[in-house]
Amino acid sequence: MFHNRREKLISRMQQQHIDVAVLVPGSNMYYFTGLHLKQSERLTLTAITANNQLYFLLPQVELNKVDASNAGTILSYSDEEGPAQAIQQLKKELGTLQTMGVEFDTMHVKEQKTIEKLTYDNLCDIGESIHELRMEKDHLEMDFMRQAVQIVEESLEATLPTIRVGVSEMEVAARLEYEMRRRGSEGTPFGTIVASGYRGALPHGRASTKKIEAGELIVIDFGAIYKGYVADMTRTVALGDVSPTLKNMYSIVKQANEAAIAAIKPGMTAHDIDNIARGIIRDAGYGEYFTHRLGHGIGLSAHEEPYLMQRNQLVLKPGMAFTVEPGIYVQDVGGVRIEDNLIVTENGYENLMTYSKELIML
């Protein structure tokens, strides 16, 4: 699988006359090598050459993560000696290069300074090509995403009965994270959002010490990771009886979510889908309160391409995966967001989320 992915990358490199791709730890390195490492003060690089050679430059402490299945040349260094020697070795292996491709959006300046010790003429961004490859999910990736979604849905179900008057947002977040861990989640891809009452007006309202009160809407936006793949779910629930204004906001967002999802199929653009949801919210008089894009791509990263937003003319294709998450946020009143995870199919879409979108009254 990783081998296949590298071949696709190499054929793009050849088209663009890139001699070597140098990747830093993160989702791209994982995607092409299976190596799951964190970007840190210990220099770690993977080099993939246009003639299909693979090199790992990494600290000794991570050596156990590379095995025969990674099929590359290992250049390691100890904490005491530092990476200088290993870099010289890599330089010798790679020889004189014309063009080196790196990830402009993730490489640290410190890492870039290090690769300047290699011999090359040009540096170019290989990130765009990689995003394009990663946008097309294969069946295994889709399966991991379905399992991640199952974890978030079951965890929400298990958490809802614990939400009562006087419970803090952080307690709700802790319970959710515990339930996800129990079900095999490898971690939280982003800080869990539990935003109740007036705090619901903050689209990114991380769980706080605020206690939940009767008559409030609670926006719960949280994620799980399964085999590296992220699920990202939002539901808004009501504790006790909520005002007609809040109920109306909820029904508009639900309508926007459902209409946008129903329109997903190959050939539509990212802009088109955003526009459908935005139109419904605008026509209901809440246009200025929907302050973010409709959705983001999802996969090994919680946010990746494609982005569902105004003026993005990217045409949807089978295998693309993204969220649809319209919202309304009114200061001093509250907020609503409903978020599902979708995959584009040959004829339409698959909604990975099966959880009800009716307003949940606790």
Tell me whether residue 169 or residue 232 sits nearer to Co ion (CB atom).
232
Helix ranges restricted to H, the chain: 2-15, 27-33, 84-94, 109-115, 127-135, 139-159, 169-182, 244-262, 270-283
Question: Nearest to Co ion by Cβ — which residue?
Answer: 232
Tell me whether residue 5 or residue 134 sits nearer to Co ion (CB atom).
134
Whether residue 132 contacts residue 297, with contact meaning beta carbons closer than 8 Å, is answered with no
**Number of residues this chain uses to bind Co ion (CB under 5 A):** 2
Stretch that binds Co ion, among 3-11, 32-40, 203-211, 225-233 (CB under 5 A): 225-233
Stretch that binds Co ion, among 68-76, 155-163, 182-190, 230-238 (CB under 5 A): 230-238
Tell me whether residue 76 or residue 341 sits nearer to Co ion (CB atom).
341
* Alpha-carbon dihedral 310, 311, 314, 316, rounded to 10 degrees: 30
Query: How far apart are alpha carbons 97 and 119 in whole angstroms?
Result: 6
Identity (one letter) of the amino acid at 92? K
State in angstroms the smallest separation of the CB of 342 from Co ion. 12
Tell me whether residue 62 or residue 325 sits nearer to Co ion (CB atom).
325
Query: What is the bridge-based pairing of β-strands 229-239 and 216-226?
Result: antiparallel
With 0-12 / 13-18 / 19 or more C-beta atoms within 10 angstroms meaning exposed / middle / buried, residue 4 is exposed
Tell me whether residue 103 or residue 232 sits nearer to Co ion (CB atom).
232
Q: Can residue 188 be called a binding residue for Co ion (CB under 5 A)?
A: no
Chain positions 231 to 250 lying near Co ion, rule: CB under 5 A, are 232
State in angstroms the smallest separation of the CB of 298 from Co ion. 7
Tell me whether residue 19 or residue 221 sits nearer to Co ion (CB atom).
221
State in angstroms the smallest separation of the CB of 296 from Co ion. 6
Q: How many CB atoms lie within 10 A of CB 282?
A: 15
State in angstroms the smallest separation of the CB of 229 from Co ion. 14
14 backbone φψ class: left, alpha, beta (φ>0; ψ -120 to 50): alpha
State in angstroms the smallest separation of the CB of 79 from Co ion. 38
Tell me whether residue 114 or residue 234 sits nearer to Co ion (CB atom).
234
Chain positions 306 to 325 lying near Co ion, rule: CB under 5 A, are 323
Contact flags string 96-115 toward Co ion, x per CB under 5 A: --------------------
87 CB-near residues (< 8 Å, 6+ apart): 43, 57, 114, 117, 118
Stretch that binds Co ion, among 27-35, 61-69, 88-96, 224-232 (CB under 5 A): 224-232
Query: How far apart are alpha carbons 126 and 49 in whole angstroms?
Result: 13
3-state DSSP assignment of residue 323: strand
The neighbouring-strand residues paired with 361 are 238
Tell me whether residue 55 or residue 289 sits nearer to Co ion (CB atom).
289
Chain positions 323 to 342 lying near Co ion, rule: CB under 5 A, are 323
Which residues lie near Co ion (CB under 5 A)? 232, 323
